[in-house]
Structure 1
């Protein structure tokens, strides 16, 4: 009885969709009417750019019905007009526009809508789709459908914080129009705050790194990409050198995965890159000197890896760099004096390495007017503390997470766990609350400051 009823409802719904298709085709929206007035020359140019595609609004509607049924649409947060006789453009999260002179589904926005189940293979029938946003649907499970990578018009694919599984296939290289690719997971594991109440268990499940495998070299085909975020997933293996082909990429986040091997020199080809995060992986070997040739880079975050060798002096060429985080690696050698030329820098993290030698005297000097935090803790540095130059930072709101920041404008050095010696300058001693960042020191220590923070009399 139940199956018969469901079948009947499905037939009714399909009938409504077919009517919706006819209505959509016969009653163009205001947007469609406006677009129909576009000059013939512009239409011809667009057709040259965009080859004819298969499918129709009817096939789009069938794919949407499949998605609704496969992901328990009756339980979605928002179902406005779904499976009704209203035009598809009125269905919640569905955007219809003219493609090749015909109305087609070009956008599907169902983020945080409580989809539960697997993506049907028929999603590949949405051949005109440009934006697919299904992020924050934690109960969206199963593997990525192969047909998903046939949607060659996709510009934006957002699947963040879902439970989709599997590997990225070589077919991802067919998505050559992609601007935004977000497959990341959440960094917050809410399970640690669960109080045992069964009613809230679902909201406090542990995070699972569901996507896995190595990145295919075909990812280098996504040459129009500006934003790629694969953070907090189970991706592993070495980064393909073809990643360096993405010359328009501005944001690349690989934090919290299981990547290994060396960072490829080809990353120096990412000339538009502004943000690069690859911390908390298993990268080893030297930091590529080619990273010093990225003129737009503002954030270089490579912490918690197994990187070794010296800090490349070429990083001193990054005049736009604001945050350099290389903490907790196995870096050795001296701090390159070239880092004192990073005139836009305001945070520097080199703590937890094996650095030796002295702290460059000009680090945090007048040529670095924005630098307010230098973390050099737990290395093997020696010599004296550098002089502290009064800085005038216009906006320190972004530094609130640094609890030790005083209200004055000196560069704040954290240098405990090294072999520094000599006199602690008076400008340090004038602010006792920050002395804990200097202590303890190994070896002889400071001549006027004990490791317990008291002054030598």
Structure 2
């Protein structure tokens, strides 16, 4: 058995599945996992890493994972989560209904170009309880199919410095509250029909 790892880089290894890890490795202390740019083509929930509660950094971008991530994640140490560039054709992430409110350390959330659709209000609601909103510094939901209205309480995200909602079916906001907070709001193209409830 390989001793406990803290960093595991599997990026660009042409792995066909994230269903299981066949290495004799102790992962109970794993902090960084980069599994980006592989050939995963199965439901996201079928992956082995969601139960590693010590993870601080998880990059699953540029795969073909689809469907929902497990509901009510308990990865309380997770600071960085990138699910960008997933989905393939009619296989997509669908509505983001996963409860992320226990990700109390989450600072960066990227779900860009993942065929994500649904009401952005619901997406924010899944971040809103417990403790995670006040930690969030960067939120990238660009190039998806999100619709709806940003909730009033977005002004409470006092740590947020970058929000990118560009390229959605309905798109980003102009908000005096966000400008006062110094938030970089990126919204340079597409129809601007996601609004902000004042």
Where on the TM-score scale, by shorter chain, does this alignment land: which range?
0.7 to 0.9
Structure 1 residue 176 displacement after superposition: 3.5
* Greater relative CO (CA pairs within 8 A, separation 6+): 2
Q: What is the root-mean-square deviation of aligned Cα atoms in Å?
A: 3.0
2:19 and 2:153 map into 1 onto residues whose CA distance is: 33
Q: From the CA coordinates, give the structure whose radius of gyration is larger.
A: 1
Residue aligning to 2:186: 348
TM-score by length of 2: 0.78
Residue aligning to 1:224: 54
Number of matched pairs = 184
- Runs of 4+ in structure 1 displaced over 4 angstroms? 332-338
Report whether the alignment pairs 1:321 with 2:195. no
Report whether the alignment pairs 1:246 with 2:79. no
CA contact (8 A) 2:124 2:151 kept: yes
1:179 aligns with one of 25, 28, 31: 31
Residue aligning to 1:302: 141
Structure 1 residue 182 displacement after superposition: 0.6
- 1:347/1:129 CA distance change after superposition, 3 Å: same
Correspondence list, 1:26-45, <5 A: none
2:168 and 2:60 map into 1 onto residues whose CA distance is: 22
1:283 aligns with one of 116, 131, 146: 116
Residue aligning to 1:213: 42
Unmatched segments (≥5 aa) in structure 2: none
Q: Secondary structure of 2:36's match?
A: coil
Q: Secondary structure of 1:270's match?
A: coil
2:140 and 2:173 map into 1 onto residues whose CA distance is: 20
CA contact (8 A) 2:108 2:137 kept: yes
Correspondence list, 1:434-449, <5 A: none
Hey, which of these two has a bigger chunk of helix by percent? 1
1:162 and 1:263 map into 2 onto residues whose CA distance is: 28
Structure 1 residue 335 displacement after superposition: 5.0
Report whether the alignment pairs 1:163 with 2:14. yes
Residue aligning to 1:273: 106
String of CA shifts for 1:418-437, please: whole Å, max 9, x gaps: xxxxxxxxxxxxxxxxxxxx
Structure 1 residue 302 displacement after superposition: 0.3
Residue aligning to 1:114: none
2:40 and 2:147 map into 1 onto residues whose CA distance is: 28
CA contact (8 A) 1:249 1:272 kept: yes
2:63 aligns with one of 233, 255, 262: 233
Correspondence list, 1:3-82, <5 A: none
2:54 and 2:188 map into 1 onto residues whose CA distance is: 34
String of CA shifts for 1:75-94, please: whole Å, max 9, x gaps: xxxxxxxxxxxxxxxxxxxx
Q: Secondary structure of 2:153's match?
A: helix
CA contact (8 A) 2:75 2:102 kept: yes
TM-score by length of 1: 0.36
2:63 and 2:3 map into 1 onto residues whose CA distance is: 26
